[in-house]
Amino acid sequence: MTVHTTHETAAPLRVALIGLGAIGRVIAKELLARQGEGVQLLGALCQHESEGAELGLPVVTTLAALLALQPDLVVEAAGHGAVKAYGPEVLRAGRDLLLVSVGVLSDAALLAELEAAARASGRQLLLPSGALAGLDYLQAAKLAGLSRVCLRSRKPPLAWRDTPAELLLDLAKLSEPVVFFRGSARDAARSYPKNANVAATLALCTLGLDETLVELVADPTISGNEHEIEASGAVGELHLTLRNTASPDNPKTSLVTPYSVMRSIMARRAVLSV
């Protein structure tokens, strides 16, 4: 639980966004509706200046211009390429960085570079729960010792378009669920950069990218995105099933994702935060 009562005397958290797609637009609208509640949205970095027009939001097309807005926190919601292009520089410039495209951390060299940049500038690399839940319990359970962590992600065939799943399955002709990937969280996140960021988030909170097991399923019987987590260890077992509504703007993305980012942002100024 985060109680979003802010410290009235604290300066508002100055936030800048990278990306105004399905996730970024919801975050922008939520932040604009909450100006004065301890947060201030300064602008967004997009590929085209016209992208923020209907939001009335300043849009810039270079990282230098975004950093010139003097954000405390930069929120990435643009994809793996954008993290590679901008992530280390954001941290080196002394800003906190919240990543939605967590799966890019399957690249060990990039993760090391981001951690080194955060350490050198004394800033934080933040990961939201995204489309998942239960990470608080799992991180606590990890302290006592976890032995097994698995994620099964099911999405309708439409959500697996333009991914390597198309080489394995005839997505248009599926009549029943098919598991088309079984492997490590690292391989899932690397091979499915727009679908399996949750695998990396779960892995980084638990057994790591190589020991956390993942199954990906194309399921013509569902309309949303479902994630099942099974974990066991010294403190007990967790069996969790999420039936997420898909974003109306991107069938690969669960609608809860931008709201999980909002929770993370608001928690940075909350008086009472859990």
Ligand X SMILES: O=C([O-])CC(=O)C(=O)O
Ligand Y SMILES: NC(=O)C1=CN([C@@H]2O[C@H](COP(=O)(O)OP(=O)(O)OC[C@H]3O[C@@H](n4cnc5c(N)ncnc54)[C@H](O)[C@@H]3O)[C@@H](O)[C@H]2O)C=CC1
Residues that bind ligand X (CB under 6 A): 131, 194-198, 225, 244, 252-254, 257
Residue with tokens 């994702």: 257
> Tell me, what amino acid is at 121?
S
Q: Is 48 one of the annotated active-site residues of the chain?
A: no
Cβ 135 vs Cβ 205: under 8 Å:
yes
Size of the site for ligand Y (CB under 6 A): 32
State in angstroms the smallest separation of the CB of 83 from ligand Y.
Answer: 8
Indicate which of ligand Y, ligand X, none lies near residue 19 (CB less than 5 to 8 Å, by partner kind): ligand Y
Question: What is the smallest separation between the CB atom of 237 and ligand Y, expressed in angstroms?
Answer: 23
114 in helix, strand or coil?
helix
Contact assessment for residue 197 and residue 103, using Cβ atoms and an 8 Å cutoff: yes
Cβ proximity to ligand Y, 6 vs 190, nearer residue: 190
Residue 196 interacts with, from ligand X, ligand Y, none (CB under 5-8 Å by kind): ligand X
Residue 225 known to bind ligand: no
In whole angstroms, give the CA distance from residue 92 to residue 99.
Answer: 15
Compute the 3-state secondary structure of the chain and give helix, strand, coil in percent, each to the nearest 5: 40, 30, 30
Among 1-9, 111-119, 153-161, 248-256, the segment contacting ligand Y (CB under 6 A): 248-256
Per the structure block, which two tokens stand in for 127? 């990961």
250 marked among binding-site residues = no
Query: Which tokens is 246 given?
Result: 């898909």
Q: Would you say 6 or 197 has its CB closer to ligand X? A: 197
Binding to ligand Y by residue 253, rule CB under 6 A?
A: yes
Q: Which two tokens stand for residue 244?
A: 């997420």
Minimum distance of ligand X from residue 147's CB (angstroms): 24
Q: Which residue is nearest to ligand Y (CB)?
A: 21
The one-letter code for the residue type at 71 is: P
Residue whose CB is less far from ligand Y, 6 or 257: 257
Q: In sequence order, what are the residues at sequence separation of 6 or more whose Cβ sits closer than 8 angstroms to the Cβ of residue 254?
A: 130, 131, 224, 225, 242, 244, 245, 246, 247
Give residue 235's identity as a one-letter amino acid code.
V
* Minimum separation from the CB atom of position 203 to ligand X (A): 12
In 3D space, the residue among 250, 193, 262, 200 whose CA is nearest the CA of residue 225 turns out to be: 250
- Site membership for ligand Y, residue 117 (CB under 6 A): no
* Helix boundaries (H) for 1-76: 22-33, 63-67
Q: Least distance (Å) from ligand Y to the CB of residue 137?
A: 17
Exactly one of 4, 7, 48, 227 is catalytic; which is it? 227
148 touches ligand Y (CB under 6 A): no
Based on CB atoms, which residue is closest to ligand X, 59 or 171? 171
Q: Which does 244 bind (CB under 5 to 8 A by kind): ligand Y, ligand X, none?
A: ligand X
Q: Which helix (H) or strand (E) holds 89?
A: helix 80-92
Task: Candidates 38, 52, 79, 157: give the one binding ligand Y (CB under 6 A).
Answer: 79
- Which amino acid does the sequence have at 87? G
CA distance 246 to 67: 32
Binding residues for NAD(+): 131, 197
Binding residues: 131, 197
